[in-house]
Amino acid sequence: MPTSQIPVITIDGPTASGKGTVAQRVADQLGYHLLDSGALYRLTALQALRRGTDLADEHALAKLAEHLHISFTGEAIFLSHENVTDAIRAEEVGNTASKIAALPAVRQALFALQLGFRKAPGLVADGRDMGTVIFPHATLKVFLTASVEARAERRYKQLIAKGIPANMEGLLMDLKARDDRDTHRAIAPLVPAEGAHVLDTSTMTADEAVVQVLAWYAAIGK
């Protein structure tokens, strides 16, 4: 099957909107590959923080991104054979990822890597610009959203469950700041893609969101 004919479902949205969980479950249900694009930026951020890379040095960050050794095994994420699934979810890493994601050179460095995840029988890609930039001709485009309060509560529960200290007020401030950066950046701002189905998950469970996404996909007849 030509790459251009391999079906792609894009699931975009702000931090903690539930897109990662929904994308994983949709991919599992369909037997499709999964691309967690946010993880790529978090991996770049983690590597930069570990190496003490100047976060204002766009060229150095882009070069670092180009040479990441990344692998996904189920829900586990590996960086040079080290399981960093939990490490990349730290708030410092997330905030750093949001900042470097606004850099054109970093986005370009990760562009081809993301396209390479499109393999048969299909792909579910989650992120912030999957439907607008990376896969603009996707079979189905979904944009998940939720109130900042609902998203902060989800992130708080996720962190506490993993034994990571968290503060609700701090999370709210961080999410608002991250939303502002993501929606106002000059390159690939966070907006619903043309033709995307917008789904507010503020009062929905992940399972309910998955059912809706699968229903939209089934309606396309693919």
Residues that constitute the known binding site for ATP: 13-21
| SS3 at position 80 | coil
β pairing state of 123-127 and 8-12: parallel
Instruction: Say which residues have a Cβ less than 8 Å from residue 78's Cβ, sequence separation at least 6.
Output: 70, 71, 72, 84
**Radius of gyration for the chain, computed over Cα atoms and rounded to the nearest angstrom:** 17
- CA distances for 171 relative to 88, 90, 121, 149, 206, angstroms: 16, 12, 38, 9, 21
Residues of each annotated binding site = 13-21
CA–CA gap between residue 86 and residue 89 (Å, rounded)? 5
Question: At CB < 8 A and 24+ separation, what contacts does 169-174 make?
Answer: 170/91, 171/91, 172/148, 174/91, 174/94, 174/95
